[in-house]
Amino acid sequence: MEQPDHLQPKNFPRLVNDSFLCACRKQDTSHVPVWCMRQAGRYLPEFRETRAAQDFFETCRSPEICCELTLQPLRRFPLDAAIIFSDILVIPQALGMEVHMEPGRGPVFSEPLKDPEDMKKLKTKIDVVEELGYVFRAITLTRHKLEGRVPLIGFTGAPWTLMTYMIEGGGSNTMSKAKRWLYQHPKISHTLLQLLTDVIVDYLVGQVAAGAQALQVFESHAGCLGPKQFSEFALPYLRSIASRVKSKLKSDNMDAVPMIVFAKDGHYAIEELAESSYDVIGLDWTMCPKEVRQKLAGRKALQGNLDPCALYASKENIEKMVKQMLEDFGHQGYIANLGHGLYPDMDPEHVGAFVDAVHKFSKTETKEN
Query: Active-site residues: which are they?
Result: 38, 42, 51, 87, 165
- Cα distances from 333 to residues 25, 36, 173, 336, in angstroms, run 7, 17, 34, 10
Give min distance, CB of 349 to ligand 1CP, in A: 18
- Count, in order, helices (H) and strands (E) of the chain: 15, 9
Q: Which is nearer to ligand 1CP, 61 or 361 (CB)?
A: 61
**Within 10 A of 360 (CB to CB), how many other CB atoms are there?**
14
Q: Is 43 in the site for ligand 1CP (CB under 6 A)?
A: no
In the complex, residue closest to ligand 1CP by CB: 171
The conformation of residue 282, written as its DSSP 8-state character, comes to E
Residue 160's Cβ-count burial label (10 Å; 0-12, 13-18, 19+) is buried
Taking CB under 6 A as the rule, which mask of x and - marks residues 172-211 in contact with ligand 1CP?
Answer: ----------------------------------------
Taking CB under 6 A as the rule, does residue 107 contact ligand 1CP?
A: yes
- Regarding 167 and contact with ligand 1CP (CB under 6 A), the answer is no
How far are the Cα atoms of 48, 87, 315 from residue 162, in angstroms, in the given order? 26, 11, 36
AA letter at 1: M
Query: Is 364 in a helix, a strand, or coil?
Result: coil
Interface pick for ligand 1CP out of 20, 155, 278, 334 (rule CB under 6 A): 155
| Number of chain positions touching ligand 1CP (CB under 6 A) | 21
Residue 41 sits in the site that holds ligand 1CP (CB under 6 A): yes
Q: Write the DSSP assignment of 68-105 as a string of letters.
A: HHHHHHHHHS--S-EE-S--TTHHHHHTT--EEEETTT
Least distance CB 218 / ligand 1CP (angstroms): 4
* Closer residue to ligand 1CP, CB minimum distance, 87 or 232: 87
Q: Which is nearer to ligand 1CP, 1 or 53 (CB)?
A: 53
Nearer to ligand 1CP, 145 or 323 (CB): 145
Q: Does 83 bind ligand 1CP (CB under 6 A)?
A: yes
Nearer CB in complex with ligand 1CP: 265/319: 265
Check: CB of residue 5 under 8 Å from CB of residue 306.
Answer: no
Rounded Cα–Cα distance for residues 187 and 164 (Å): 16
Least CB distance from residue 35 to ligand 1CP, whole Å? 9
Q: Strand (E) positions, the chain? A: 82-83, 99-102, 106-109, 152-157, 214-219, 259-263, 280-282, 301-306, 334-338
Q: Which stretch binds ligand 1CP (CB under 6 A): 3-11, 37-45, 119-127, 132-140?
A: 37-45
Q: Does 88 bind ligand 1CP (CB under 6 A)?
A: yes
CA–CA dist 283, 305 (Å, integer): 6
Q: How far is the CB of 167 from ligand 1CP (least distance, A)?
A: 13
Q: Report the residue number, 20 or 155, with the smaller CB distance to ligand 1CP.
A: 155
C-beta separation of 354 from 311 below 8 A: yes
Q: Does 134 bind ligand 1CP (CB under 6 A)?
A: no
Q: Does 308 bind ligand 1CP (CB under 6 A)?
A: no
Interface residue with ligand 1CP among 15, 30, 56, 194 (CB under 6 A) is 56
Stretch 331-360: interaction string toward ligand 1CP, x if CB under 6 A: ----------x-------------------
Q: Is 157 helix (H, G, I), strand (E, B) or coil?
A: strand
Which of 24, 32, 34, 37 binds ligand 1CP (CB under 6 A)? It is 37
Shortest reach from residue 151's CB to ligand 1CP, in Å: 14
Q: What span, in angstroms and rounded, lies between the C-alpha atoms of 162 and 155?
A: 13
> For residue 124, how far is the Cα from the chain centroid?
25
**Binding residues for ligand 1CP, per CB under 6 A?**
37-42, 51, 56, 83, 85, 87-89, 101, 106-107, 155, 171, 218, 220, 341
